Amino acid sequence: MNRQSWRGPALALMLGASAGVLASTACAQAPAAPAARPWLDPKLDADTRADLALKAMTQDEKLTVIFGFFGADMGAKYKRVAEALPGSAGYVPGVARLGIPAQFQTDAGVGVATQGGEPNKRERTALPSGMATTATWNPKLAQAGGAMIGAEARASGFNVMLAGGVNLVREPRNGRNFEYGGEDPWLAGQMVGAQIKGIQSNAIVSTIKHYALNAQETGRFVLDARIGEADLRTSDLLAFQFAIEDSDPHSVMCAYNRVNGDYACENDFLLNKVLKQDWGYKSYVMSDWGATHSGAKAINAGLDQESAGDAFDTQPFFKGPLKEALAKGEISQARVDDMARRVLRGLFASGVVEKPVKIAPIDYAAHAKVTRADAEEGVVLLKNDKGLLPLLSTARKIAVIGGHADVGVLSGGGSSQVYPIGGRAVQGEGPASWPGPMIYFPSSPLKALKARLPGADIQYADGKDRAAAAKLAAASDVVLVFATQWNGEAFDSPLTLENDQDALIDAVASANARTVVVLETGGPVLMPWLPKVGAVVEAWYPGSEGGEAVASVLTGAVDASGRLPVTFPAALDQLPRPVLDGDPKKPDDLFAVDYTIEGAAVGYKWFDKKGHQPLFAFGHGLSYTTFAYDNLKAEAKGGALTVSFDVRNTGKRTGKAVPQVYVSPKAGGWEAPQRLAGFSKVELAPGATTKVSLTVDPRLLATWDAKAHGWSVAAGAYTVALGASSRDTAAKADVTLAARSLPVGPIKP
């Protein structure tokens, strides 16, 4: 495994570093707000406070808040500045004279991740992967999870969480899909927005990322993502726009890659034109670690803060080079003021100035319940023939095979890696160094199953000996095969399970058709054995309480209520790019990725447009009960489309439905036949009915109108379809929409 060269030399040292992640430097006192420092008055709005503070700043102080340092020791070349929390992602000094706190930055989306330090001091609660949380289709859970990890960040001394990954799954092999919110702009925007709201409810900054089109890891530092403006605005940018409007993240991280020629962090179109002008974004843009490539160009394009500029960029661009550019008139003083002002604004808006972060004890028992609830609802039951699941309490002999299910559950690698409480369940697998180590959380599905099924004889085989596993399977009533695929930052993964796991599943299913496959993967995988097995469960990377959560679903203690946020392809040739672009062995070779192939038809939209039959469709997921959808009504009132319907539990047990609404223009004209326009998650007792009403965001009914520089809804007839997945929409209603123009900026539906 090739690691990024800039991170490589650091790792051995970082792992061996003696300092833990906690340090007392973060425990600043809330500064008092004497009349001489009016910007400290929390009754004033963030913009006024930022203006007032900026006026009081010296030039050096302005330059201080726009330059970040790496937060971990890095070989002989880089030393962590003393004030940074050891093993952290980054540090930006504050201005004590003015009561402006330092910024202590930590990754990321599943919890407080660390880049080094003593393992036991790095241990925190991990949520299931972003993909798993999105699979809950339950924004309340995403928000609760965000609130929990934000609380751990605050209690660990961090006031900036680098969380809020909302890159769409354009490439199912992308190694970081597990960090993101799936393939649909509305679903991703709602789920990631909810997480950011939760994080920021702790009066800290959350950083939506990676803006934009960081859709594969191969060649991520150089690749040029090519796409037309209308397509970009209708897909990846729309996901950012929805999430930003929903949650007001106090920071945005620009991506490594280029977009239509320019690096994302020096891309005038992305930063100045779209984010700041069109969307009216008022806080600051920080670069990804090593993504600043210039001073004047990046600054004039809209980059406000250079991250880890001491360690990862070829020069500390926002230090000396910035001063030179200013002296030469290549950048203006007004722009430097704007940069500092935006950082201040983000800090004031977050509340962190009056509520300084403070190291405090963490209630891990309470947090375990939060991550477990999230993981339980994220598990997707893909196939369940003959009611194999839930496991009957009468099942006598159960075989559990493979995937280290005896000791733990897998997690995703790279900067977002959270170290597990209780230590790593498996040692010595995968790369030892970044983006490794490969980490299994010590939450054992096997132990959890044994506790829930005390009457059963449950035997475990590690699956290394295929014949022995098949023998055990043949002698069992039911077989659970656990299959894993490790994904991580800096590399992409094939859709094929590694280490002969397909052959293992095949052998076991040949010995016993009552085989359930439990997948722990970052995203979609191919399933050549699918017809042979009785049931398939996608558990993703289920987090700190993953073993318990998986056992809850397998035994039916909770309903299976996850739904796919991503299409599972049946074959590589169904993808817009059957062969992944770029060559991992030549990381410096510039190449382009042609996203004009699918344009805005990402994921299920591409499959619908092309008429491909996926292995499992976007939105799919079975329940242990059954639901009926009735009384679908679609009404266009005053330009707003509202949809209402009844959901009824027609089965015998309580369960959770995820009704999904898709809209199509009868005249066509969209990037694909249909778009997800709304969803809900409802819990129902057997026989119970509930009415659901949704108002559709008008941008989901519109196309980008370049001439008007806004959105435009075409007058005409539309079909509103309701159902259980993008390919299962039995209920249909017609509605006629009037022509409507919508602004480019925030919209209240």
* Catalytic site positions: 288
DSSP helix/strand/coil, 55: helix
Considering only residues 72, 85, 95, 108, which one is a binding residue for ligand BGC as defined by CB under 6 A? 108
Minimum distance, C-beta of residue 22 to ligand BGC, in the bound complex (Å)? 18
Is 288 near ligand BGC (CB under 6 A)? Answer: yes
Give the bridge partners for 488, in sequence order. 413, 491
DSSP helix/strand/coil, 469: helix
- Cα–Cα dist 533/472, whole Å: 16
Residue placing its CB nearer to ligand BGC in the complex, 77 or 464: 77
Please report which residue ranges of 167-235 form alpha helices under DSSP H: 185-200, 229-233
Show the 3-state SS of 685-726. Answer: CCCCEEEEEEECCHHHHCEEECCCCEEEECCEEEEEEEECEC
Is 289 near ligand BGC (CB under 6 A)? Answer: yes
Minimum distance, C-beta of residue 584 to ligand BGC, in the bound complex (Å)? 16
**Burial category of 551 from C-beta neighbours within 10 Å (exposed 0-12, middle 13-18, buried 19 and up):** buried
- Residue 331: what residue type? I
Residue placing its CB nearer to ligand BGC in the complex, 49 or 209: 209
Is 107 near ligand BGC (CB under 6 A)? Answer: yes
Considering only residues 63, 98, 162, 166, which one is a binding residue for ligand BGC as defined by CB under 6 A? 162
Is 568 near ligand BGC (CB under 6 A)? Answer: no
Minimum distance, C-beta of residue 108 to ligand BGC, in the bound complex (Å)? 6
Question: Rounded to the nearest 10 degrees, how much is the dihedral formed by the CA atoms of 661, 664, 665, 666?
Answer: -120
DSSP helix/strand/coil, 369: helix
Minimum distance, C-beta of residue 298 to ligand BGC, in the bound complex (Å)? 17
Q: In what order do the strands lie in the sheet with 627-637?
A: 627-637, 640-649, 689-695
* Residue 665 CB partners (closer than 8 Å, separation 6+): 714, 716, 717, 718
Minimum distance, C-beta of residue 162 to ligand BGC, in the bound complex (Å)? 4
Minimum distance, C-beta of residue 165 to ligand BGC, in the bound complex (Å)? 7
- The residue with tokens 């309340």 is 140
Name which of 371, 374, 369, 370 is nearest 135 in CA terms. Answer: 374
Minimum distance, C-beta of residue 290 to ligand BGC, in the bound complex (Å)? 7
Please report which residue ranges of 384-465 form alpha helices under DSSP H: 445-452
Minimum distance, C-beta of residue 256 to ligand BGC, in the bound complex (Å)? 7
Residue placing its CB nearer to ligand BGC in the complex, 54 or 162: 162
Residue placing its CB nearer to ligand BGC in the complex, 102 or 663: 102
Residue placing its CB nearer to ligand BGC in the complex, 256 or 662: 256
Is 265 near ligand BGC (CB under 6 A)? Answer: no
Residue placing its CB nearer to ligand BGC in the complex, 89 or 199: 89
DSSP for 567-580 reads -B-SSGGGSS-SS-
If binding means CB under 6 A, how many residues of this protein chain bind ligand BGC? 8
Residue placing its CB nearer to ligand BGC in the complex, 209 or 293: 209
- Give the contact letters, 609-648, x = binds to ligand BGC (CB under 6 A), - = no: ----------------------------------------
Residue placing its CB nearer to ligand BGC in the complex, 311 or 405: 311
Strands 205-211 and 251-254: parallel
- Cα–Cα dist 567/560, whole Å: 18
Q: Which residues of 363-388 are buried (b: 16+ CB within 10 A; e: fewer)?
A: eeeebbebbbbbbbbbbbbbbbeeeb
Q: What are phi and psi of 36, to 5 degrees?
A: -70, -15
Strands 478-484 and 515-520: parallel
DSSP for 63-125 reads HHTTB-EEES-BTTTB---TTSPTTEEEEE--BGGGTBPPEEEE--TTS---SSS-GGGSEE-
Minimum distance, C-beta of residue 343 to ligand BGC, in the bound complex (Å)? 17
Minimum distance, C-beta of residue 257 to ligand BGC, in the bound complex (Å)? 11
* Residue 390 CB partners (closer than 8 Å, separation 6+): 553, 554, 555, 556, 624
**Range 386-415, binding ligand BGC (CB under 6 A):** 415
Phi-psi region of 75 (alpha: psi -120 to 50; beta: other; left: phi over 0): left
Length of the chain equals: 749
Residue placing its CB nearer to ligand BGC in the complex, 161 or 395: 161
Contact (Cβ atoms closer than 8 angstroms) between residue 649 and residue 687: yes
Residue placing its CB nearer to ligand BGC in the complex, 70 or 629: 70
- Residue 92: what residue type? V
- Cα–Cα dist 363/370, whole Å: 11
Is 658 near ligand BGC (CB under 6 A)? Answer: no
Residue placing its CB nearer to ligand BGC in the complex, 281 or 434: 434
Residue placing its CB nearer to ligand BGC in the complex, 175 or 463: 175
Residue placing its CB nearer to ligand BGC in the complex, 69 or 186: 69
Name which of 748, 715, 721, 746 is nearest 734 in CA terms. Answer: 721
Centre a 10 Å sphere on the Cβ of residue 5 and count the other Cβ atoms it contains. 11
- Cα–Cα dist 545/379, whole Å: 13
Q: What is the DSSP letter of 491?
A: B
**Range 164-223, binding ligand BGC (CB under 6 A):** 209
- Cα–Cα dist 626/642, whole Å: 25
- Give the contact letters, 340-359, x = binds to ligand BGC (CB under 6 A), - = no: --------------------
Is 133 near ligand BGC (CB under 6 A)? Answer: no
Please report which residue ranges of 539-620 form alpha helices under DSSP H: 546-555, 604-610
Considering only residues 17, 89, 479, 724, which one is a binding residue for ligand BGC as defined by CB under 6 A? 89
User: Which is it for the CA torsion 221, 223, 227, 231, positive or negative?
Assistant: negative
Minimum distance, C-beta of residue 210 to ligand BGC, in the bound complex (Å)? 6
Point out which residues bind ligand BGC (CB under 6 A).
89, 107-108, 162, 209, 288-289, 415
